[in-house]
């Protein structure tokens, strides 16, 4: 259905099975999804609906009941507002059949975890959600323990977050948590035998939904949908084909099943996400609200191209079926989509968690090869200035939304002294490890870039 009809005035009914036609709704919950945020709804839920079959999803919200409150009154239906450069369309998705808030509904959560019909437990809980203290790993381990104690049915844990080796990460976090439990050995042994943890590479740009997006759906469909999500037309999913108890026919609708996700993941995290972070920090400091505005600046577009070509590309083993030149061009075209309005500050959040995955691997590999990856270094310097100054070139505040925010601010010290900023932030071991602070040439390059960026921000302020 095309969006963009005239404004709807007066009261409109809530989105529900009686107010819109939904072609197919699965009857059985077979996927338990931890973190049904915007991305899950615009990506895995859509692939799963397209694949058909009886694969309903139960979403488990993590930090607040907000998504439960949005979805429950609409029988878990929601609209995906797909925005290309030139057109917008709406699609109502019916794959989610249930939703619950983990903290207030522990019994319902346990019932889902122990249900042998549930074959997959998937996750999109952000990079920080994998920290042992986030609560997600405990939830997963408690759920797996309950499953072992009841049906004992095999299950697949499917991470769909932007992490290197996301399957391995979640497996090792689960096994580490088992090791801390009394008699955890037996649970760990059961997990090793009954639970698979395939890695995945996921890709679709899904900015946070705004009131304007909800109003557009209301105008287009004539219903009120509180759970709208927005996405670009592009979507990609590469999945390691290692499932314990079956899966939807995702390969029939464009997902790529493979034995090794790692090279696809490296291409995506370093080319796309690394460049996204560069544009986010450099763009935000320059006063651009959105990624599209940042990439429309010729100097930043040139920096983005050179980051991908000169710094990232030499570090990659490009899979045979990826045309990397076309990929690079497509990444910039996708970022240039003006209809998405993906905010630089949204992409900038959680930098302490994202930098190691998106930019520091590239820097390490190039330094090991004896080269200085200047654009990647400038991107990291831009993050440092973003943290230290907290304002753009017009003096507008830039939020530091990061689980390490307080420590980062303290480490950055004086906001106008490049060496203090670099020394302070390089000492944050969770971000830079023990090796990078010891690299004198890298430190010098960062100080130079921070000084240059600081001068630009300070000039105008």
Ligand X SMILES: O=P(O)(O)OC[C@@H](O)[C@@H](O)[C@H](O)[C@H](O)CO
Note whether 103 binds ligand NAD by CB under 6 A: no
CB of 341 to ligand NAD, least distance (A): 13
Q: Binding pattern to ligand NAD, positions 53-82, x when CB under 6 A? A: --------xxx-------------------
Task: Supply the DSSP string of 388-453, one letter for each residue.
Answer: HH-B-TTS-B-----TTHHHHHHHH-STT-HHHHHHHHHT-HHHHTTTGGG-HHHHHHHHHHHHHH
CB 375 within 8 A of CB 120: no
Q: Which listed option, ligand X, ligand NAD, none, makes contact with residue 367 (CB within 5 to 8 Å by class)?
A: none
Among 48, 70, 156, 162, binds ligand NAD (CB under 6 A): 162
If contact means CB under 5 to 8 A according to the sort of partner, which of ligand NAD, ligand X, none does residue 38 touch?
ligand NAD
Instruction: Read off the DSSP letter of residue 266.
Output: H
Q: Does 162 bind ligand X (CB under 6 A)?
A: yes
SS3 233: coil
Minimum separation from the CB atom of position 73 to ligand NAD (A): 19
State in angstroms the smallest separation of the CB of 229 from ligand NAD.
8
Nearest of 10, 198, 32 to residue 114 by alpha carbon: 32
Q: Does 378 bind ligand NAD (CB under 6 A)?
A: no
* Contacting ligand X within 393-452 (CB under 6 A): none
Q: How far is the CB of 170 from ligand NAD (least distance, A)?
A: 12
DSSP string, 40-53: HHHTHHHHHHHH-S
Q: Return the residue matching tokens 């905010």.
A: 343
Contact predicate 29/108, CB 8 Å = no
Residues forming beta bridges with residue 79, ordered by sequence position: 92
Site for ligand NAD in 184-223 (CB under 6 A): 202, 204-206
Selection from ligand X, ligand NAD, none that 276 binds (CB < 5 to 8 A by kind) is: ligand X
In 128-156, which positions are buried (b, 16+ CB within 10 angstroms) versus exposed (e)? Answer: bbbbeebebbebbbbbbbbbbeeeebbbb
**Can you give the binding site for ligand NAD, defined by CB under 6 A?**
35, 37-40, 61-63, 124-129, 134-136, 161-162, 202, 204-206
**Can you give the binding site for ligand X, defined by CB under 6 A?**
126, 162, 203-205, 273, 276, 347, 349
């Amino acid at each position: 259905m095309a969006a963009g009809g005239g404004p709807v005035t007066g009261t409109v009914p809530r989105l529900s099975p009686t107010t819109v036609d939904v072609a197919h709704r699965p009857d059985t919950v077979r996927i338990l999804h931890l973190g049904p945020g915007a991305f899950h709804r615009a990506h895995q839920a859509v692939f799963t609906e397209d694949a058909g079959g009886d694969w309903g999803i139960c979403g488990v919200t993590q930090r607040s009941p907000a998504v439960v409150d949005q979805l429950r009154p609409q029988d878990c239906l929601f609209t995906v507002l797909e925005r290309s450069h030139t057109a917008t369309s709406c699609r109502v998705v019916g794959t989610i059949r249930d939703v619950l808030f983990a903290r207030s509904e522990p019994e319902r959560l346990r019932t889902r975890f122990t249900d042998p019909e549930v074959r997959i437990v998937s996750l999109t809980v952000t990079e920080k959600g994998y920290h042992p203290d986030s609560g997600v790993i405990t939830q997963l381990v408690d759920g797996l323990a309950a499953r072992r104690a009841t049906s004992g049915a095999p299950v697949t844990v499917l991470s769909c977050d932007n992490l290197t080796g996301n399957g391995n990460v979640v497996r090792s976090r689960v096994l580490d948590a088992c090791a801390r439990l009394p008699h955890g050995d037996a649970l760990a042994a059961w997990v090793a035998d009954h639970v698979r943890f395939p890695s995945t590479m996921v890709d679709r740009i899904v900015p946070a939904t705004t009131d304007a997006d909800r109003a557009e759906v209301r105008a287009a469909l004539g219903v009120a949908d509180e759970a709208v999500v927005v996405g670009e037309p592009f979507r990609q999913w590469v999945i390691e084909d290692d499932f314990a108890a079956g899966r939807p026919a995702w390969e029939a609708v464009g997902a790529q099943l493979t034995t090794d996700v790692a090279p696809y993941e490296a291409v995506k995290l370093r080319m796309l996400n690394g460049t996204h972070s560069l544009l986010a920090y450099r763009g935000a400091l320059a006063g651009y609200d959105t990624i599209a505005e940042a990439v429309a600046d010729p100097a930043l577009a040139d920096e983005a191209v050179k980051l991908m070509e000169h710094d990232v590309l030499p570090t990659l083993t490009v899979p045979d079926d990826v045309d990397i030149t076309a990929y690079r061009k497509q990444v910039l075209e996708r970022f240039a989509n003006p209809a998405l309005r993906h905010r630089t500050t949204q992409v900038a959040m959680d930098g302490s968690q994202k930098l190691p995955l998106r930019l520091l691997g590239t820097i390490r590999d190039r330094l090991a090869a004896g080269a200085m990856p200047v654009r990647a270094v400038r991107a990291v310097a831009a993050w440092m200035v973003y943290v230290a100054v907290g304002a753009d070139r017009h003096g507008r505040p830039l939020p530091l939304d990061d689980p390490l925010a307080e420590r980062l601010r303290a480490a950055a010290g004086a906001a106008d002294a490049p060496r203090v900023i670099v020394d302070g932030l390089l000492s944050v071991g969770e971000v830079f490890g023990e090796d990078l602070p010891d690299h004198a040439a890298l430190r010098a390059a960062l100080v130079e870039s921070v000084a240059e960026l600081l001068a630009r921000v300070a000039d105008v302020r």
